Structure 1
Amino acid sequence: MLEKKLHFNYKDIFLAPRIGLSPKKICIFILSNLTGYIGYWVLSFLAMIVSNVNIIEALYDYGLYPYLAGNDYSTFSWIIFYFGILFWLYCLLISSTAISSLTIRQLRGEHFHSINEAIDDALKKWKTILFSPITFVFILLSLFLIGSFFALIGRIPYIGSILLAITYPLYFFGAIFLLFTFLVFLSSFLMLPSLVGVHNEDTVGSVFQSYKILYNQPWRLIFYNLLLLPLIVISLNIFSWFYETGFAMINFIFAELIGSTFSNVLSYATSILNIDFILDNISVLQNFTFQLKTISLDIIGFFVFLFNETTNLLVSTLPDLTYNSDGGYITSIETVSGLIISIILIFIYISFISYGFSILAVGETIIFIIFKKLIENEDLIIHNSSNNSIDDDSKNSSIDESSAKVLGLSTEDE
């Protein structure tokens, strides 16, 4: 199969929504989001139990969307809660790695790599995906501790101030490197799945390549991601329109044919899902991120602001799959039916969110392919295709040789 021809510039970013609209890619993110959500849900309520919160009341108050807020929880509860968030993030990194592997194969003309194979490939590299961010955290903490140690040396009487003056340039450039490392750490979450899924980097290689990409292509990295974000929002809005229109068509037909039974079932199902809870409580997440500004530098405040605005944009694209009936008595059979439909609606919303993540993963993969071409003049698509053709030729030659042996012939006789 012929590989996809790229321009190796910003034009290739526009391929992300189309390539991301793939059942295999969306299914992978559905699995990862479902796994991450279940882990987050369980750990969030476990965190509440640790702080002696009544679990029945907590289930009634939070339902499908638990979170911690306020000062009523212990430190251990917050640790459990944040571990749930990190677990969900780790599931997304694993699935993004699988998507990157699928994308590079699709770009070079291979369309038969299955979901199981892609997930297995990503899970084999779980250590790299886990320890690469941890390595950056270790580097940041090491730089901070080294700076703190030398700052304490400055308190030594007489010679402390002299040593501080002599080594001040080291502190200055060390602070710059610390800031640069922090930026690399943030950008690595975008590039890491591509580094592992496309280029098969290990932990050290992923860290080194993350530094290299941000150092060599900082403005392209910013510009390409700023270009990718509107594509995600526009694509999700179009996707949302299809979801809402299909939902409305089904409701209109079924409500006319079935009547109040359908209205009761669907109204009960959407009340369980309670998507308005997310829209009404998105400020909780923003209030938490806003508090980070009080303990951080202005650069972190900028990223917090960017995160909040991006969250508002993405939440606004959620399809409105709500249904309100006139009320009335609901039977036990209708209650069970409503529960089943609510589970289906959960999967529908997860599939919608997964499409957004699919566009992001595909876009970052394309960006990485562009950077490898610009920085090292390496075409990953042709390189991988040539490797596969060599492997195929070697397999064919080995088959021919084995056939000749079976027939009792030598290659010269043939």
Structure 2
Amino acid sequence: MFEPEKLHFNFIDLLGAPRRALKGKKIWAHLMGLVVGYPVYAILTYLALWVDGESLSAAWDQYGIYPFFSLFNGQLISVTAWIIYILALLVWLVTTLLASTVVARITYKELKGDQFYTFTNGIAFTRRHWRTMIFSPLAVILIILFFLVMAVIMALVGKIPFLGEVIFMGLYPLYFLGAAFVLYTAVVLAVLILYLPAIIGVWEEDAMGCTFQAYAITWNQTWRAVVYSALIGALAVVGAMLYGWVITAGYHFINWIFGSSWLMGSKLSPILAWAEQVVFSGYNGLFSFIHL
């Protein structure tokens, strides 16, 4: 065991986020989440395109392993296709949240001084709390749906001749408060999804506790959540750029070594050409940095 890391409990602590994030255990955790979740997302997205009548071969030629670009072309039209795509998004979201919970737990243990807390320990912890990960957002969604259903019922009551207008005017203040609460709860849902891995990883809350924490953060820590999230977002961009530069440099270094004439030489070119065609096919202009 090491000494717990000294924290300032303000924005200064956030400046060390890239250093804490760029560690093997945490990169591996998110990589595993990506390996599990993204293929399912991609398959379901292509299924949605196929349901809408899109040729799978043509879609693959256009989007490759990045089928989410199909949204920018407005190719999902039918309700069935959208249902499949929303399911794909949910699968990807859940796997990302589970991987983030592993990372949050590892980070929490490191801050407490336990530098030997392993990726396997994080997986075991997340397995014990996966229900909380799913049912916490579901609870907030059910709250929103309850108020929406009540709004529809009261709107139907409002169709009653004369009496409906009287009831509408008499209950309008309650309708207004209910509408404000639904909008507030929608913001709480976004906050919950953003902070859920950290809430579970640190406090080990159940679904009720996570929901309460999300309401508390939204109401009591509004500006801190906004400013800190923006700062973390900026640091994440910087960290991702640094990590991407290292990955790109490693890619070129491997090509330089293995592509030497006295090693693999020209045998490497067709392998790289095939790999780049798969990875960078479709919208490859976005990935032109890899050739710099």
- Structure 2 match to 1:246: 250
Note if contact 1:184-1:210 (Cα within 8 Å) is conserved in structure 2: yes
2:277 is matched with which residue: 248, 263, 271?
271
Alignment of 1:11-50 (within 5 A): 11-50=12-51
Question: Aligned partners of 2:76 and 2:190: how far apart in 1?
Answer: 31
Alignment of 1:124-135 (within 5 A): 124-135=128-139
Alignment of 1:146-225 (within 5 A): 146-225=150-229
| Identical-pair percentage | 34
Deviations along 1:31-87, whole A, 9 cap, x unmatched? 000100111122223334445554444444443233455457542232122211210
Question: Aligned partners of 2:18 and 2:149: how far apart in 1?
Answer: 44
Cα drift, residue 252 of structure 1: 3.3
Larger Rg: 1
Letter in 2 for 1:225: S
SS at match of 1:8: coil
Structure 1 unaligned spans of 5+: 281-317, 324-414
Note if contact 2:63-2:281 (Cα within 8 Å) is conserved in structure 1: no
Alignment of 1:84-99 (within 5 A): 84-99=88-103
- Are residue 102 (structure 1) and residue 106 (structure 2) matched? yes
Give the 3 Å change call, closer, same or farther, for CA 276–58 of structure 1 in structure 2.
Answer: closer
Cα drift, residue 197 of structure 1: 1.6
Question: Aligned partners of 1:235 and 1:60: how far apart in 2?
Answer: 32
SS at match of 1:110: coil
Deviations along 1:170-211, whole A, 9 cap, x unmatched? 111111111111111111111111111211111111111110
Question: Aligned partners of 2:52 and 2:237: how far apart in 1?
Answer: 39
Deviations along 1:308-356, whole A, 9 cap, x unmatched? xxxxxxxxxx783349xxxxxxxxxxxxxxxxxxxxxxxxxxxxxxxxx
SS at match of 1:5: coil
SS at match of 2:290: coil
Alignment of 1:349-364 (within 5 A): none
Question: Aligned partners of 1:192 and 1:243: how far apart in 2?
Answer: 29
Question: Aligned partners of 1:72 and 1:38: how far apart in 2?
Answer: 19
Question: Aligned partners of 2:234 and 2:285: how far apart in 1?
Answer: 21
SS at match of 2:3: coil
- Are residue 142 (structure 1) and residue 146 (structure 2) matched? yes
Deviations along 1:276-302, whole A, 9 cap, x unmatched? 62655xxxxxxxxxxxxxxxxxxxxxx
Note if contact 2:62-2:282 (Cα within 8 Å) is conserved in structure 1: no
Deviations along 1:203-226, whole A, 9 cap, x unmatched? 111111110111111000001011
Question: Aligned partners of 1:74 and 1:159: how far apart in 2?
Answer: 40
- Structure 2 match to 1:390: none
Question: Aligned partners of 2:75 and 2:12: how far apart in 1?
Answer: 49
Letter in 1 for 2:245: W
Give the 3 Å change call, closer, same or farther, for CA 88–263 of structure 1 in structure 2.
Answer: same
Give the 3 Å change call, closer, same or farther, for CA 138–57 of structure 1 in structure 2.
Answer: same
Cα drift, residue 137 of structure 1: 1.3
Structure 2 unaligned spans of 5+: none
- Structure 1 match to 2:81: 77
- Are residue 260 (structure 1) and residue 260 (structure 2) matched? no
Give the 3 Å change call, closer, same or farther, for CA 205–319 of structure 1 in structure 2.
Answer: farther
Superposition CA RMSD, Å: 2.3
Letter in 2 for 1:66: P
Letter in 1 for 2:193: F
TM-score normalised according to structure 1 size:
0.64
- Structure 2 match to 1:9: 10
SS at match of 1:320: helix
- Structure 2 match to 1:232: 236
Q: Which range moves more in the overlay, 47-56 or 32-41?
A: 47-56
TM-score normalised according to structure 2 size:
0.89
Question: Aligned partners of 1:15 and 1:27: how far apart in 2?
Answer: 19
Give the 3 Å change call, closer, same or farther, for CA 41–236 of structure 1 in structure 2.
Answer: same
Question: Aligned partners of 1:201 and 1:212: how far apart in 2?
Answer: 14
1:320 is matched with which residue: 278, 289, 292?
289
Cα drift, residue 100 of structure 1: 1.2
Letter in 2 for 1:148: V
Q: Which range moves more in the overlay, 149-158 or 112-121?
A: 149-158
| Count of residues in correspondence between the two structures | 286
SS at match of 2:256: helix
Cα drift, residue 244 of structure 1: 2.4
Q: Which range moves more in the overlay, 1-10 or 27-36?
A: 1-10
Question: Aligned partners of 2:167 and 2:54: how far apart in 1?
Answer: 53
Deviations along 1:122-162, whole A, 9 cap, x unmatched? 12211111111111111111112212222332332223222
Note if contact 2:61-2:281 (Cα within 8 Å) is conserved in structure 1: no
Alignment of 1:378-397 (within 5 A): none
Give the 3 Å change call, closer, same or farther, for CA 267–118 of structure 1 in structure 2.
Answer: same
Cα drift, residue 166 of structure 1: 1.9
